[in-house]
């Protein structure tokens, strides 16, 4: 296992921030909430067509980091570049305008509303009759059906309630929505945490499709198996710091698991419990 970038983004990405293929470059980002230090110097890069898996135990700083990237929080210090340009987001709208879309665990969906309405969420196509504007439901349904079909999901009736879809299908609706509306970078917050095996497979396959389109993906997960299945690079956080940045061929699943969960602590606990952990 070779730690290629524990003290800054520049050493872990073959010249991160200088190549046109770098979408996001995070350099020693710090975030304080009063006296609480949530992020104490996090660095990472995301390139086009790359899935970066962000791992860490509870309290490692993952949620604070993605909310900072998504424009919810402003960093206390550090640099954040999008396609080589320094950015300073004031709101999530600024992040969306820059092409950074976040799919949170709750998916921001209304279960009783149709698949189409959840897909567009206020951005439905319109048609005009004189000065009056109407939602063009035929066009909206057509786009929804086609976009879902592209990822292998047959939505026979786009007007059906989105709550009737499986968890994996709803995840794919949320991801497809972000891609359709122009995301360059997708931040996926624990997208497989509450899914079964078949639904997880569906989501991971779609993430692979997204990568093949040249988008960058930040995949937040606790599941090392899911990370290794889809990830190209891995950033591990611990107590608000970057513990390491690794390419897939630089770390094994066991090493990643131990690094994320605290190998020494687990070994000590296993020993104290007679090797049962």
Closest by Cα among 26, 138, 158, 24 to 79: 26
Beta pairing class for 216-220 and 100-103: unpaired
User: Torsions phi, psi of 207, nearest 5?
Assistant: -60, -40
Q: What is the pLDDT of residues 18-63, one digit of tens each?
A: 446 999 999 999 999 999 999 999 999 999 999 999 998 888 899 9
176 pLDDT above the threshold of 70: yes
Q: What is the pLDDT of residues 48-107, one digit of tens each?
A: 999 999 998 888 899 999 999 999 999 999 999 999 999 999 999 999 999 999 998 877
Domain segments of the chain as ranges: 1-101+205-277, 105-181
Mean pLDDT of 237-263: 86
pTM of the full predicted structure?
Answer: 0.84
Q: CB-based burial of residue 215 (10 Å sphere; 0-12 exposed, 13-18 middle, 19+ buried)?
A: buried
- For 98-131, give the DSSP string: TTEEEE-TTTT--TTSBHHHHHHTT---EEEETT
Using DSSP's 3-state secondary structure scheme, residue 176 falls into: helix
At 260 the pLDDT is 77
**CA distance linking residue 56 with residue 260, whole number of Å:** 5
6 pLDDT above the threshold of 50: no
Q: CB-based burial of residue 45 (10 Å sphere; 0-12 exposed, 13-18 middle, 19+ buried)?
A: buried
Q: What is the pLDDT of residues 117-148, one digit of tens each?
A: 999 998 999 998 888 999 999 999 999 999 99
CATH code of 1-101+205-277, in short, is 3.40.50.300
Q: What is the pLDDT of residues 208-236, one digit of tens each?
A: 999 999 999 999 998 999 999 999 999 99
């Amino acid at each position: 296992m070779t730690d290629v970038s524990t003290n800054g983004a520049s050493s872990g990405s073959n010249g991160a921030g200088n190549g046109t293929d770098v979408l996001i470059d995070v350099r020693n980002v710090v975030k304080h909430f009063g006296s609480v230090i949530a992020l104490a110097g996090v660095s990472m890069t995301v390139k086009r067509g790359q899935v970066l898996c962000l791992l860490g135990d509870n309290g490692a700083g993952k949620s604070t980091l993605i909310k900072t990237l998504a424009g919810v929080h402003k960093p206390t210090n550090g640099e954040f570049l999008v396609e080589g340009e320094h950015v300073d987001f004031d709101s999530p709208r600024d992040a969306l305008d820059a092409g950074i879309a976040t799919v949170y665990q709750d998916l921001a969906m209304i279960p009783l509303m149709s698949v189409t309405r959840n897909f567009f969420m206020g951005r439905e196509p319109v048609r005009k009759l004189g000065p009056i504007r109407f939602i063009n439901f035929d066009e909206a349904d057509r786009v929804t059906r086609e976009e879902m079909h592209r990822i292998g999901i047959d939505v026979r009736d786009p007007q059906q309630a989105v709550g009737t879809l499986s968890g994996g299908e709803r995840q794919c609706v949320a991801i497809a929505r972000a891609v359709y509306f122009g995301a360059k970078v997708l931040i996926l917050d624990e997208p497989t945490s509450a899914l079964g095996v078949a639904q997880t497979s569906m989501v991971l396959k779609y993430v692979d499709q997204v990568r093949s389109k040249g988008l960058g993906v930040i995949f937040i997960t606790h599941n090392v198996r899911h990370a290794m299945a889809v990830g190209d690079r891995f950033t591990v956080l611990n107590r608000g710091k970057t513990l390491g940045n690794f390419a897939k061929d630089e770390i094994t699943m066991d090493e990643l698991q131990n690094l994320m969960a605290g190998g020494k602590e687990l070994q000590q606990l296993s020993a104290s419990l007679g090797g049962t952990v």
